Amino acid sequence: MTNAAATRRWDFTPAHPIVKVRASYALSAEGIRFDSDAPFGAQGPAALRWDAIAEAATATLDLPGSQTGPSPPPAALAARLEWLLLSRSDRPERAFMRVLPSGSDRDALVAELRERLGSKWVGERMPLDEARKRLRIAEHSDGIDTVGLVIGALLLIVIIVVVGVLLLTVLLLPALFAFGAWLFHRGLSDLRAAIAIENLPTSSVSSAAIGLVELAGRAVVDNPSPAGASGTPSVWWDVGVDAWYRDGDNRGGGEWRQIAAQHGGDAGLLVVEDDTGRVPVWPRDADLILRQRTWHSTKDTLPAPGQALLAGAGIAWDRSRKLRVREQRIEAGGAVYVMGTLAEVGSLPQGERDSGLARWRRAMRTGTWKASVLRVTPSLLKAPLAVAFVFFGMFGRLGSADERSVSAQDAPPPALPADGVLVWKGRSGRAFIIADAPETGSLERVRARSLWRLGLGAVLMCYVLYELGNTI
């Protein structure tokens, strides 16, 4: 939240089923304004004068899941959503309904609105249907033709499925071979990294020379963040919550599906300290080898911070539903191993764009490819295509990658003095590893990963060659 003269502003990242969205509220002497870079729909920019507001309230909607049905809403969505509803005296059919921020920003924004609106404020956290009726807001007041949207989305889904099946019959074997080759390539990269770990001597921070270095020390941070599940003071942490969904045939099969995610701390910078000094590490595109802690609702007691985190998302931790909580973290003061390129800060790329392949990988990992597709899609097809993205994310996980909205691998360049040094990936394609295990433990993990990647990649390529040999 920022202040500028008589205007108060709150910037936040609201839940969105398709892409990462940035939004803001601004309250000025003239009225309220909501800005957003959402690619379509009712989360777009809107403004309303104070004298045009008839009544105001906040409304909530719980998003329940089904243990045997399709996946729950995408991980970007919380278990409960809250909106600001403003009915209009000038145009009753065009009500204002926009998502609210969470936490202290939500409380400060609502308090400011209550003060400005006085008797026009009629309630908080009302059930959505009740709030619509109380403020006399029709369900179609956001301007979306629901029937047309559903029909358009269904037609688009059918077209995508038909085209996909046709392409699958032609491209299945080439796709399997390409995937196997990619796995084999990643396995070779891991093998080269393992050789580098084994042969490169560990340097102290004070004696490390420009170029490829290996460092071992402690992760330090001025303001540790309690990890979401364990509460352990951490530099950075990431928590995922999964639910077990049974197959429809009731044979006992099923799969884990992510229903929520949370992260905290500073993912953009890691400071490594040993007995000789400190050095910053920019983790963008790093290979993070971190131990994953796991708790199962059927057999484990989740620490109090984790239970509070789930309760805030409307998720109960008990034996009535099979849940799993996963946590990765870099502990404050904990052991950390880094192998990367030591360089001067002034030599880092400034505003440099990723290469084509790197940009594609990052877009697939973060889900930003969906926003790019929606931007170039004709307006008539934007909403149906967005619904199709959600549909395939629920049933096929198309583009729903289990990555979080903020990732250490996607951190922007840190603000550091130009005459300083830091460790980063570099431009020569050499290994860049950050691990929470000593050198020997990191070496074992990289070796094991290289073996299964090499093996599975070779099996897939050999299978494709075998099938092609039988058809010739």
pLDDT tens, position by position, 129-147: 888 888 877 655 444 445 5
Are 106 and 166 within one domain?
Answer: no
Are 122 and 192 within one domain?
Answer: no
With cut-offs at 50, 70 and 90, classify the pLDDT of residue 153.
low
Contact at 8 Å (CB) between 435 and 290?
A: yes
Are 106 and 168 within one domain?
Answer: no
Q: Give the whole-angstrom CA distance, residue 219 versus residue 217.
A: 7
Q: What is the mean pLDDT of residues 252-280?
A: 86
Q: Read off the pTM.
A: 0.63
Put residue 207 in one of left, alpha, beta given phi > 0 → left and psi -120 to 50 → alpha.
alpha
Q: Token pair 């409304």 is at which residue?
A: 59
Are 282 and 256 within one domain?
Answer: yes
Helix axes 379-395, 368-376, angle to 10 degrees: 150
Residue of 84, 101, 96 lying closest to 10 (CA atoms): 101
* List of long-range contacts for 349-357, beta carbons under 8 Å, 24+ apart: 349/413, 350/413
Q: Let me know if residue 290 belongs to a domain.
A: yes
- Sheet strand arrangement including 31-36: 2-4, 7-12, 23-27, 31-36, 46-49
Are 31 and 179 within one domain?
Answer: no
Q: Let me know if residue 148 belongs to a domain.
A: no
Q: What percent of the chain has pLDDT over 70?
A: 74
Q: Give the whole-angstrom CA distance, residue 450 versus residue 192.
A: 9
pLDDT at 166 over 70: yes
Distances (CA, A) of 42 to 80, 94, 132: 18, 11, 15
Q: CB neighbours (10 Å) of residue 171?
A: 12
Q: Which amino acid, 328?
A: Q
Residue of 433, 466, 463 lying closest to 450 (CA atoms): 433
Q: What is the pLDDT of residues 399-431, one digit of tens each?
A: 333 444 445 556 677 778 888 899 998 888 888
Are 341 and 241 within one domain?
Answer: yes
Domain closes at, from 85, 108, 143: 143
Any idea which of 44-48, 200-204, 278-282, 406-410 has the lowest mean pLDDT? 406-410
pLDDT at 317 over 80: yes
Distances (CA, A) of 338 to 224, 235, 273: 20, 15, 11
The pLDDT value recorded for residue 6 is: 63
Q: What is the pLDDT of residues 339-396, one digit of tens each?
A: 999 999 887 776 545 555 666 666 666 666 677 777 777 766 766 676 666 656 555 4
Q: What is the mean pLDDT of residues 90-118?
A: 85
Query: Which has the higher per-residue pLDDT, 396 or 262?
Result: 262
The pLDDT value recorded for residue 90 is: 79
With cut-offs at 50, 70 and 90, classify the pLDDT of residue 398.
very low
Number of domains in the chain: 2
Are 109 and 203 within one domain?
Answer: no
Q: Bridge-partner residues for 233, per DSSP?
A: 226
Query: Which has the higher per-residue pLDDT, 198 or 171?
Result: 198
Any idea which of 71-85, 96-110, 192-206, 443-457 has the lowest mean pLDDT? 71-85
Pairing verdict, β 254-265 and 233-246: antiparallel
Are 60 and 170 within one domain?
Answer: no
Residue of 262, 238, 256, 237 lying closest to 313 (CA atoms): 262
Domain closes at, from 143, 177, 192: 143
Task: Give the list of residues 6+ apart from residue 74 with CB closer than 8 angstroms, or none.
Answer: 17, 390, 393, 394, 400
Q: Let me know if residue 199 belongs to a domain.
A: yes
The pLDDT value recorded for residue 250 is: 58
Contact at 8 Å (CB) between 297 and 315?
A: no
Mean pLDDT of the chain: 79
Read off the tokens for 336: 């950390």
Query: Which has the higher per-residue pLDDT, 390 or 272?
Result: 272
- The segment with the largest mean pLDDT, out of 67-81, 194-208, 254-268, 353-367, is 194-208
Q: 31: domain range?
A: 2-143
pLDDT at 105 over 80: yes
Are 157 and 139 within one domain?
Answer: no
Q: Which amino acid, 142?
A: D
Distances (CA, A) of 200 to 132, 338, 431: 65, 12, 12
Q: Let me know if residue 161 belongs to a domain.
A: yes
Are 159 and 263 within one domain?
Answer: yes
Q: Give the whole-angstrom CA distance, residue 351 versus residue 348.
A: 10
Beta strands (DSSP E) in 75-170 are 80-88, 96-99, 121-127
Query: Which has the higher per-residue pLDDT, 129 or 192?
Result: 192
Residue 108: CATH number of its domain: 2.30.29.30
Q: What secondary structure letter does DSSP report for 303?
A: P
Contact at 8 Å (CB) between 97 and 85?
A: yes
Q: Let me know if residue 220 belongs to a domain.
A: yes
The pLDDT value recorded for residue 148 is: 58
Q: Give the whole-angstrom CA distance, residue 342 versus residue 345.
A: 9
Contact at 8 Å (CB) between 297 and 322?
A: yes
Q: What is the pLDDT of residues 2-58, one digit of tens each?
A: 444 467 888 887 765 555 667 889 999 899 999 887 655 556 688 899 999 999 999
Q: Let me know if residue 357 belongs to a domain.
A: yes
The pLDDT value recorded for residue 397 is: 44
The pLDDT value recorded for residue 89 is: 81
Are 303 and 185 within one domain?
Answer: yes
Domain closes at, from 143, 163, 183: 143
Q: Let me know if residue 215 belongs to a domain.
A: yes
Query: Which has the higher per-residue pLDDT, 41 or 437?
Result: 437
The pLDDT value recorded for residue 217 is: 93
Q: What angle do CA 28, 33, 38 make, to 5 degrees?
A: 150
Distances (CA, A) of 22 to 36, 95, 205: 6, 22, 38
Are 172 and 209 within one domain?
Answer: yes
Distances (CA, A) of 34 to 24, 26, 51, 104, 270: 6, 7, 17, 18, 35
Sign of CA dihedral 247, 75, 356, 189: negative
